[in-house]
Amino acid sequence: MKRTMVRLADGRDLIYYDERDDAVREGPDRRDLPPPPPASELRYDPLLDEWVAIATHRQTRIFLPPTDQCPLCPSTPDQSSEIPAYDYDVAVFENRFPSLSVRTGEPGDDPTPYTPTRPALGRCEVVCFTADHHASFATLPPSRVRTVLDALADRTGELSELPGVEQVFCFENRGVEIGVTLHHPHGQIYAYPFVTPRTRAMTAAARRHAERTGGRNLFADVLAAERAAGDRVVAANAHWTAYVPAAARWPFEVHVAPHRQVPDLPALDDAERAAFGPLYLDLLRRFDRLFDKPMPYISAWHQAPVRVDRDLGYLHLQLFSVRRAVDKLKYLAGSESAMGVFINDIRPEQAAAMLRQLADRP
């Protein structure tokens, strides 16, 4: 894989990850762009011990443009996009409308004595999986999935070195039902200046389990229990297992975990990276077959924090959909949105059985 970094017209970074060593990436960004916005504002919620980003400039971000104006397609002689090249394999660039940024501005006044504010220091990046606007992750070849995985690992390692970054989150949103504003196949990376609430909760549970069991890892024990039970396992190979968690929150939710405990994507070895693509592609295609239509989903990599509790972390991918039937979506209504208590309409064992029946056919 060849890695080439260039600068966009407004000074943002763009990195090409090419599958050919002879790829040349010298085309300039011909656009006349305003400077990137300063960092958003973080406000502390004392009632939940959480930070909330206030990013008002994101109201003006591009929303579902026509195909011929897609900012993630390659540039053409007549149309300049976020990617100056006329073709590419995988490209990663700083988001033009970031929630988090290293370009910090002046901090605002604290709204109350209990709600301190600070600049939303960090970084938001866009990951384009392919130059093909009409593709999806599920249609990529395994070789491209490997390129994407290597790019995510590279960015995780580099972003983890930024001052103030405490956690790196790689994810993909697919489908307007999820809230996607650009149809081109892409994901995102957030480098947070704090450890996220979900990771803090998982780490606290892992710490309690380690204290009770003489140092055992909670996720490793849960994975072993799921593999032993078998009735929620959807697919597996020598290095990875995909299973529906016993207490799944979403109608169709699958966790994909390596058999070896590693804290993050950079820690995966060559065999684990090679084995991930075929299993994950099979899983995504099963999702699309469930209702014979493209499945909206969120695909979220859970990585250990950058500086603390790395021994408690266990890298895994959480794939889930809001679709619960061919014509029905799972909305986060009162119990979920107000109280954080999920109510699942589909029994996890049933969801796993449905997905198992939809394996790729030779």
Answer yes or no: 259 catalytic: no
Active-site residue (options: 186, 239, 255, 316): 186
* β-strand partners of 299: 172, 319
Rounded-to-integer distance, Cα 297 and Cα 324, Å = 12
Show binding-site residues for Zn(2+). 70, 73, 133, 184
Question: Active-site residues: which are they?
Answer: 186
